[in-house]
Amino acid sequence: MAGPRPLPRWFGLRVRLFLGLLAAGLLAAGMRLVDLQVVRGSELNRLSREEHLADLRVPARRGHIYDRHNKPLAISVDVPSIYANPSVVKDARTAAHALAPVLALEVESVYQRLASDKLFVWLKRQVTPDVAEAVQALALAGIGTTKESRRFYPSREVAAHVVGFAGVDGHGLDGIEREFDNALYGEPQVVMTVRDGRGRAVLGSAVDREARALGADVILTIDAQIEHAARDALRRGVVAAGAKAGSVVVLHVPTGEVLALANMPDFNPNQAAAVAADARRNRAVTDMFEPGSTLKPLVIAAAIEARALSPDGSVFCENGAFDVGGHTIRDGKPYAWMGLTAILAHSSNIGAAKVGLELGAPRLHAALKSYGLGERSGIALPGETAGIVREPKAWSKMELATISFGHGVAVSALQLANAYRVLAAGGRYDPPALVRGISFADGHIETPAPPAGARVLSKATAEHVSRMLESVVSAEGTGSLAAVPGFRVAGKTGTAEKVDLVAGGYSRDRTMAMFAGYLPAQAPVVVITVVVDEPRAAHLGGAVAAPIFAEIAEASMRLLGVVPSAPVVPSAPVTVSPAPVTSP
């Protein structure tokens, strides 16, 4: 029997070739696995996650704004918003007809959004819960609701011009909301969401979601109770005078902090979008006006400080008519000699002009600048005006004279209040402060460093002028209606004709009525400035602005717990020498 036939030679070659190819394939596969799992493992894992997961930036909850006593002035609340995924909507036209009446929108407007080729569109943001429930009841494919933060202002009009307001996207548009938007808005939180089969992020599918990030809170110097009292008094005064507008600023003398800042007309920031821009204007900061006679005490203080005049000096008031460079300055009544106290008590333009001429343009200009006039204070509010104080080389002799009684320069209500604080604070200038601190989510609080101040008057000069200003509020002074029972008040009335931009020159029937002052005069706690724009029932500062001052001053003393003292007669005598009477 024959043995097995030997395999053909070619068969062995094929086997070896097959085994070689198999080994090569296994080696290649192994190398590929090493490459995928070891060399490129982390990268491929990232790509895989990116294919199925998406990072979304979720805005932080906007920080709150509080007054000095932690009363909330602006908070964030969650409200529903309506959105659509147009790619899932089955019949855009039918859905639009169903949604439009519920959302109070035009059918065509809703249809255009539903017919979009986008994967996400807002239909209406920040709606009421009832509207959201009505939308959900429709059970329309591709239509959903989600929660968004909406700004709410519980005090409504109170401090509205200070706080400002935020827009629907959560960013501040005015006031503190705008100036501190970065801190309030906070850092958006990045969260991971699952993608659907088409690679789109699915709302509500966030994984590993942590607590929502928080923006910082801002604590203001504002006292909401004093702000409320100031607003109410200003509103009544503006209405009673038939005026166009008005502003009030209340400063805390020891610290320079703003306790109240109010304007009329005002607005409800919960409905800011529906309010005219004129009502939203922060007039106390953005608007400037000629200060009129309220500038006289500051000029007299500068003259005393420079020793151009002594506190008990007198000025000849030209019997009521004073010629300067071919122009005539007149007083309401003719006077011969007047002491500085009388010049303020009776608001003599001639007396103030002569004080300014004696002081000279360079020194008066330097003094006005030292009071913070003609410069922005740096307060944390948008749109602050610098006012107008021109360089002294441009002043004529007549301009020097008129600037001395408040014409030819322009200030804001805030600037005027802070200039009077120099007198009340014993001669020291400090920029006004509006923010007490910024409180971050991690618990630490940043306190803004106070801007550098400076002494601009000696304490003796400031006290001399304060005693003079008490005479203005006496029964014989122009500011008698600013008196507050039980308190010594120092202040000055002012009335300035407005510039007629059409006809040129000054208008006879359009004026600014003002009162600026502080109390208690012997140890001042608050400075209050009242400005009323175009009063009709009366036009003098003593008749229009002084009563508003008195009402706010009384409320401020009560709310701050300042105890009344017995009335004290001003120590500075009112020295007046009337002009001689001549026969016709």
Place of tokens 């309030």: 184
Catalytic hit among 76, 81, 293, 348? 293
Helix, strand, coil share of the chain (percent; to 5) = 40, 25, 40
Residue 539 DSSP label:
-
* Terminal-residue alpha carbon distance, the chain: 174
Q: Write out the DSSP string of 300-349.
A: HHHHHHTTSS-TT-EEE-GGGEEEETTEEEE-SS-EEEEEHHHHHHTT-H
* Radius of gyration over every alpha carbon of the chain, rounded to an integer in angstroms: 36
User: Could you tell me if residue 186 is left (phi over 0), alpha (psi between -120 and 50 degrees) or otherwise beta?
Assistant: left
> From CA 404, how far away is CA 418, in angstroms rounded?
18
In sequence order, the β-bridge partners of residue 122 are 83
> From CA 193, how far away is CA 204, in angstroms rounded?
8
| Active-site residue flag, 149 | no
> From CA 96, how far away is CA 103, in angstroms rounded?
10
> From CA 497, how far away is CA 510, in angstroms rounded?
6
Helix (H, G, I), strand (E, B) or coil at 520: coil
Three-state SS sequence of 544-571: HHHHHHHHHHHHHHHHHCCCCCCCCCCC
Q: Write out the DSSP string of 389-404.
A: ---GGG--HHHHHHHT
User: Could you tell me if residue 531 is left (phi over 0), alpha (psi between -120 and 50 degrees) or otherwise beta?
Assistant: beta
Q: What are phi and psi of 518, to 5 degrees?
A: -155, 160
In sequence order, the β-bridge partners of residue 76 are 151
Burial of residue 109, with CB atoms counted within 10 A of its CB: 0-12 exposed, 13-18 middle, 19 or more buried: middle
Say if residues 259 and 251 touch (Cβ distance below 8 Å): yes
Structure tokens at 12: 């062995």
Q: Write out the DSSP string of 257-268.
A: BEEEEEEES---
Say if residues 288 and 412 touch (Cβ distance below 8 Å): yes
Helix (H, G, I), strand (E, B) or coil at 293: helix
DSSP H helices, 438-582, are: 459-472, 541-560
**Beta-strand (E) ranges in 223-307?**
245-252, 258-264
Handedness of CA 303, 543, 289, 556 (dihedral sign): positive
Handedness of CA 232, 238, 241, 242 (dihedral sign): negative
Q: Which residues contact 325 (CB under 8 A, 6 or more apart)?
A: 396, 397, 398
Say if residues 446 and 180 touch (Cβ distance below 8 Å): no
Place of tokens 């007396």: 351
Structure tokens at 253: 């003398």
Please list the active-site residues: 293
